[in-house]
């Protein structure tokens, strides 16, 4: 199957590392097609960044429509542009936060999210509410690690995440950790070995769920809420996308 992996930020290094993590976990027959927006911020760490990330996901989803993509993963923990991508793509579209919450809730009665900048906690909190995981998600914890610092994750950074996860597990009385950034994809196994509880990376979870949904022959419904966008005149730089 062909799996479109959209990194909603414009860091080429992060797109490459997310794609590598996805290829490591993907089935032998899964081709990972990694894309990033042609515009927007190098990392998504707040509402303004998130708005442009969503537009960038919409751009890349629209450009990939008709390319024979079987499923799509949006690899940023805010799941920006998820609904927009579902309107223009036929196959299942999964956000990594959505996938990680589902996986963690299937493993443990309660999980904690350990994320990047504390200011992104509200974005994650709103996603927990949107997806209905208020009972299972027992806490969301910022580490104030900037997203782009994850690209060169050394021992000190991993130790910071481990310490934050330990505090979260104790304070929240939870039994699983969800990593709150696509840039943490390569760290899940190390942290899981150290913590002794499930550590869910949303990129890996979304890739495996996408493969499962595609294998089940399940698609995004093209009626009602996810019907294709209605044709109408567009103005400005994005008009080429809808011509
Ligand atoms: C993210 C992420 O996954 N990618 C990005 O640019 N920002 N998430 C986050 N909580 O900082």
Number of structural domains (the chain) is: 2
Residue to mutate, 45, 51, 81, 148, ligand 1, most ligand atoms under 8 Å from C-beta: 45
Per-residue confidence band for 153, with pLDDT thresholds at 50, 70 and 90 = confident
Which residue segment(s) compose the domain that 194 sits in? Answer: 97-201
- 225 and 188 inside one domain: no
- pLDDT for the residue 200: 98
Place of tokens 């089940």: 216
Q: Over 90: is that where the pLDDT of 3 sits? A: yes
Q: What is the pLDDT of residue 79?
A: 98
Say yes or no: 91 and 209 in one domain.
Answer: yes
Asked whether residue 242 carries a pLDDT value surpassing 90, the answer given is no
**How far is residue 74's CA from residue 18's CA, in Å, rounded to a whole number?**
11
Query: Computed from CA positions of residues 5, 10, 14, 17, in that sequence, does the dihedral angle turn out positive or negative?
Result: positive
Residues 91 and 101 in one domain: no
- CA of 18 relative to ligand 1 center, distance in Å: 12
Over residues 214-225, the mean pLDDT reads 96
In this structure, the answer to whether residues 192 and 109 fall within a common structural domain is: yes
pLDDT of residue 83: 98
Of ligand 1's listed atoms, the one at least distance from the Cα of 7 is 4
Query: What is the arithmetic mean of pLDDT over 110-119?
Result: 98
Task: Read off the pLDDT of residues 17-76 as tens digits, 9 standing for 90 and up.
Answer: 999 999 999 999 999 999 999 999 999 999 999 999 999 999 999 999 989 999 999 999
Share of the chain above pLDDT 70, in %: 100
Give pLDDT, residue 66: 86
Are residues 86 and 46 both part of a single domain?
A: yes
Ligand 1 centroid to Cα of residue 169, in Å, is 21
Distance 116 CA to ligand 1 centre (A): 7
- Whether residues 101 and 11 fall in one domain: no
Question: Which atom of ligand 1 is closest in space to residue 78's alpha carbon?
Answer: 8
The predicted-structure confidence for 158-182, as pLDDT tens digits, reads as follows 999 999 999 999 999 999 999 999 9
Residue for token pair 């996805």: 22
Average pLDDT score over the chain: 97
Residues 18 and 68 in one domain: yes
What band does 141 get if pLDDT is binned at 50, 70 and 90?
Answer: very high
Are 34 and 7 in contact, with CB atoms under 8 Å apart?
yes
Report DSSP state, residue 134: T
CATH number at residue 168: 3.40.50.12500
Residues with CB under 6 A from ligand 1: 9, 43-45, 76-77, 115-116, 120, 147, 180-183
Residue-level pLDDT at 152: 87
Q: Determine how many CB atoms are found less than 10 A away from the CB of residue 22.
A: 25
Core vs surface per residue 47-81: b (16+ CB within 10 A) or e: eebbebbbbbbbbbbbebbeeebbbbbbbbbbbbb
pLDDT of residue 126: 98
Query: Based on the domain organization, do 9 and 74 belong to the same domain?
Result: yes
Q: What percent of the chain has pLDDT over 90?
A: 96
Q: What is the CA radius of gyration of the chain?
A: 17
């Amino acid at each position: 199957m062909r799996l479109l992996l959209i990194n909603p930020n414009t860091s080429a290094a992060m797109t490459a590392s997310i794609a590598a993590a996805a290829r490591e976990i993907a089935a032998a027959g899964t081709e990972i097609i990694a894309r990033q927006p042609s515009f927007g911020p190098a990392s998504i760490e707040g509402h303004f960044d998130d708005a442009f990330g969503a537009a960038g996901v919409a751009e890349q989803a629209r450009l990939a429509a008709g390319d024979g993509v079987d499923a799509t993963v949006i690899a940023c923990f805010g799941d920006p542009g998820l609904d927009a991508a579902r309107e223009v793509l036929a196959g299942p579209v999964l956000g990594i936060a959505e996938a990680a919450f589902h996986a963690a809730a299937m493993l443990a009665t309660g999980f904690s999210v350990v994320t990047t900048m504390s200011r992104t906690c509200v974005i994650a909190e709103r996603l927990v509410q949107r997806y209905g995981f208020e009972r299972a998600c027992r806490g969301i914890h910022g580490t104030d690690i900037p997203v782009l610092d994850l690209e060169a994750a050394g021992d000190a950074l991993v130790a910071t995440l481990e310490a934050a996860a330990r505090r979260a597990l104790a304070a929240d009385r939870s039994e699983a950790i969800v990593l709150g950034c696509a840039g943490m994809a390569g760290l899940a196994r190390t942290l899981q070995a150290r913590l002794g509880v499930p550590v869910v990376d949303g990129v890996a979870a979304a890739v495996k769920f996408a493969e499962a949904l595609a294998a089940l022959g399940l698609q995004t419904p093209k009626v009602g809420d996810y019907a294709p966008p209605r044709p109408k005149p567009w103005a400005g730089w994005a008009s080429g996308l809808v011509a």
